[in-house]
Amino acid sequence: MGTTQQEQPAVALDLGLEVGELTAALVDIPSVSGAELPLADAVERELRALPRLRVDRHGNNLVARTGFGLPERVVLAGHLDTVPIADNLPSRVQDGRLYGCGSTDMKSGVAVQLKIAAELGAADGPTPAREVTFVFYDCEEVEAERNGLGHLVREHPDWLAADFAILLEGTDAQIEGGCKGTLRATVRTRGQRAHSARDWLGVNAIHLAAPILTRLAQYQAREADVEGLIYRECLNAVGITGGVAGNVIPDECVVTVNYRFAPDRSEQEAAAHVVEVFEGFDVQITDSAPGAAPGLSLPAAAAFAALVGGTPAAKQGWTDVARFAGSGVPAVNYGPGDATLAHTRQEYVELERITRTLATLRRWLDLG
């Protein structure tokens, strides 16, 4: 993966900061999808300074691995990018919360990764109970074909070989199993152009889209029980385009829909369902990614869930646990952020959740 980003001044990170302070430092380095280079460079510099880690880079994706000769290997993974900034930088702390773009999704998780990497990679660091691979990747918040973890899966699968993976997406420091799949499609209507003063000579494509919106408004979301966790499906319009000029009857209208489907459906089954819902219309699937079943009965996942405690829930969104699962690596979502705050102007993370997540992972790795 190349980059078209212009040269920018180097930014610095200090992995010796307390984990909440490190989160703030990460948040204050803008890294909107496609512009992760300064942050990726800063992370790489810190990782390469740690003598007990092997570091590899592909584009703006970094993989650092321990090599103690232990029989089990786990992955701690997180994405470096954020959605577009919404007047929510620089970061600020108020009432035990760290506010800022990416604070919950998911630079607090990245800060936890970096603190553990700094501890294990130091020359005088401890030996963990398991080998650890740290994965930092780009372009998670955009279309699937740009996803950095997907690039690593396709081009460097050996870097990701492991027995278990933890994706530090926001779960409020609780286990969330699996994830829903996601699919985007366009539903198109075609009419006939005419002057708007003589509309009887044309066919208004925007008006023809009314039944599409009616079907969406009346759609009954399916709930699916998958291995004891309940996933609720969602089908929504997320965009609509049409119109030529203020005095022209439009001859085309396109409604973009997003279908979030339970992991008991394949991508092909999800696509067939969307085509069925919009029978009679021109439907084109433009992007999709599969879901992942919880897999919490697998030994590594069960052991981690037992340590975390509480009752695991279904991940009601899409995450890259699906990519790990598709590569044969069981994975769970566990991180300090709150998914309900992701992508919002008021995005924040509870500082206590960050320290709790770090403490739990240190205990699981037997770091004291």
The residues, any chain, with a CB within 8 Å of residue 306's CB and separated by 6 or more, are: none
DSSP letter for each residue of 200-222: GGSB-HHHHTHHHHHHHHT----
What does the alpha-carbon distance between residue 293 and residue 288 come to, in Å, rounded to a whole number?
17
Question: What SS3 state is found at 42?
Answer: helix
Handedness of CA 106, 181, 171, 155 (dihedral sign): negative
**Which candidate in 46, 105, 119, 140 is catalytic?**
140
**Residue type at 187 in one-letter notation:** V
Q: In whole angstroms, how far apart are CA 236 and each of 213, 215, 320, 322? A: 9, 10, 22, 22
174 token code pair? 């609780």
**Cα–chain-centroid distance for residue 109?**
12
Look up 36 and say whether it is catalytic. Answer: no
Q: Judging by beta carbons within 10 Å of its beta carbon (0-12, 13-18, 19+), is residue 63 exposed, middle or buried?
A: buried
The residues, any chain, with a CB within 8 Å of residue 92's CB and separated by 6 or more, are: 98, 99, 100
**Which candidate in 36, 46, 81, 105 is catalytic?**
81
Q: Judging by beta carbons within 10 Å of its beta carbon (0-12, 13-18, 19+), is residue 326 exposed, middle or buried?
A: middle
162 token code pair? 């492991």
Look up 140 and say whether it is catalytic. Answer: yes
**Cα–chain-centroid distance for residue 185?**
20
Among 103, 119, 139, which Cα is nearest to 26's?
103
What does the alpha-carbon distance between residue 310 and residue 308 come to, in Å, rounded to a whole number?
7
What does the alpha-carbon distance between residue 161 and residue 157 come to, in Å, rounded to a whole number?
7
**Residue type at 334 in one-letter notation:** Y
Catalytic residues: 81, 140
